[in-house]
Amino acid sequence: MDKLQILHADMDAFFSAVEQRENPELQGKAVIVGGVNLSNRGVVSTASYEARKFGVHSAMPIAQAKKLCPDGIYLPARHGLYKAASKEVFSILKRYTPLVEKLSIDEAFLDVRGCERLYGNPVEIAEKIKIEVKKKTDLTISVGVSVNKFLAKLASDFDKPDGLTVIRKKDIKSFMRHLDIDKIWGVGDVFAAKLAEKNIYKAGDIWPYSLEELKNNYGKAGVKLFFLSRGIDNRDVKSRSEIKSVSHEETFADNISDQDKLFAYLFKMSEKVSFRLHSNSLKGTTVFIKVRYSDFNTYSRQQSLKVAINSSEEIYQRAKELLMQNDLLTKPLRLLGLGVSNLCQEGQEQLNLFTDENEDQLDQTIDQLKRKYGFDKISRARKLYLNNDD
């Protein structure tokens, strides 16, 4: 990709903005939307920009937010209301191009190649989307325009709220040079600390290192860092209709027999699969696992469910059951993988009266933070076992 063609559209403080739209008395005030019951053990889903001035942000514990912003207006999440608003926004996006990749309830990538004759160049399309969203939903949206997905995502976050930022090919080097290293996808706190040991704090600090050096030092993460630090990203925009299943697997450098360590890896994979399912508003009724031993013998098992799932905890528990019930951990593993198939769109699945709304809310909040700061920025305690390895 060498010309402007990718847009990243991201609603501004979506949940709190919808609440302010529904109740004009909330406009201009610090509005914090939290979990289903707003208990002090809950977490912030979205904070209005007025609340962010006090230091309140997504995924912050409600108790901490109340200390920073005691006079804020704390509201329980109303997901039905937000889904209805999201539907309005996505109906607008899909009128400009069929290639809309939904990342979450409030953001998406768009590939606008071939749409110029109908709607103008990519920047003009972005301007039209912003105007139409405001006119039809009374909400604001920030749009980034660039040559690939990674840069478009950076651009949309550059001038929030209600921003429109364009990163052209000729501007990539100057834009990336001073970008904080933790703004690059996949660079969480642990990885950033390792890079800081080599005085790497900005994307430009990576440039003197060769691809081979970064690969030897940091593995796959180093390879990704080499390309993303230079603004190189060859991923295509994919609409949800193309997704048949979501899976993740890892081949270990050394065979692993330690069950606790394997379960930690299993949960890490469950988080990745759950993240992708949530990002595309999907659930699935089949969980499958795959193992490969040192002799390269490979086995797969699956379980069909009555109720579709997408939470990391449920996926993990089902996958763990498959491993244990089929005695698949009797020998060291070379490879471990899991996935979810038989997918359906959220809201179209059979309802489960016993769904844990708090668990679902926690998943959504963690996803939101990962999407903003990188996948490894936050996780459950179960993965701490791997900190010394990843």
Can you give the residue range of the structural domain that contains 189? 177-228
Contact in structure between 60 and 44 (CB atoms under 8 Å): yes
Q: Pick the last residue of a domain from 167, 200, 219.
A: 167
pLDDT of residue 58: 85
Annotated binding residues for Mg(2+): 10, 106
Q: By CB neighbour count within 10 A (0-12 exposed, 13-18 middle, 19+ buried), where does 208 fall? A: exposed
- 284/223 same-domain check: no
pLDDT of residue 59: 80
- 158/193 same-domain check: no
Does residue 7 fall inside a structural domain? Answer: yes
The CA distances from residue 357 to 132, 212, 240, 362, in Å, are 33, 46, 25, 9
pLDDT of residue 349: 47
Does residue 237 fall inside a structural domain? Answer: no
Picking from 186, 168, 177, 251, the residue whose alpha carbon sits closest to that of residue 225 is 186
25 is catalytic: no
Phi, psi of 129 (to 5 degrees): -60, -45
- 317/340 same-domain check: yes
Q: What is the mean pLDDT of the chain?
A: 87
Does residue 56 fall inside a structural domain? Answer: yes
In tens, the pLDDT along 62-115 reads: 889 999 999 999 999 898 899 999 999 999 999 999 999 988 889 999 999 988
The token pair that represents 256 in the structure block? 């692993």
How far apart are the C-alpha atoms of 62 and 65, rounded to whole Å? Answer: 5
Q: What is the CATH number of the domain that holds 33?
A: 3.30.70.270
Q: Pick the last residue of a domain from 167, 198, 220.
A: 167
> In a 3-state reduction of DSSP, which class is residue 152?
helix
Q: What is the CATH number of the domain that holds 191?
A: 1.10.150.20
- 266/346 same-domain check: yes
Catalytic residue among 19, 50, 101, 107: 107
List the pLDDT tens digit at each of the 390 positions of the chain: 568 899 999 999 999 999 999 999 999 999 999 865 566 667 888 999 999 999 999 888 888 999 999 999 999 989 889 999 999 999 999 999 999 998 888 999 999 998 888 899 999 999 999 999 999 999 999 999 999 999 999 999 999 999 999 999 999 999 999 999 999 988 888 889 999 999 999 999 999 999 999 999 988 889 999 999 999 999 999 876 566 788 998 888 889 999 999 999 999 999 999 988 887 778 999 999 999 998 888 999 999 999 999 999 999 999 999 999 999 999 999 999 999 999 887 765 444 444 445 555 556 665 555 555 554 555 555 544 554 444
- 161/182 same-domain check: no
pLDDT of residue 41: 62
Instruction: Determine how β-strand 31-34 pairs with β-strand 73-76.
Output: parallel
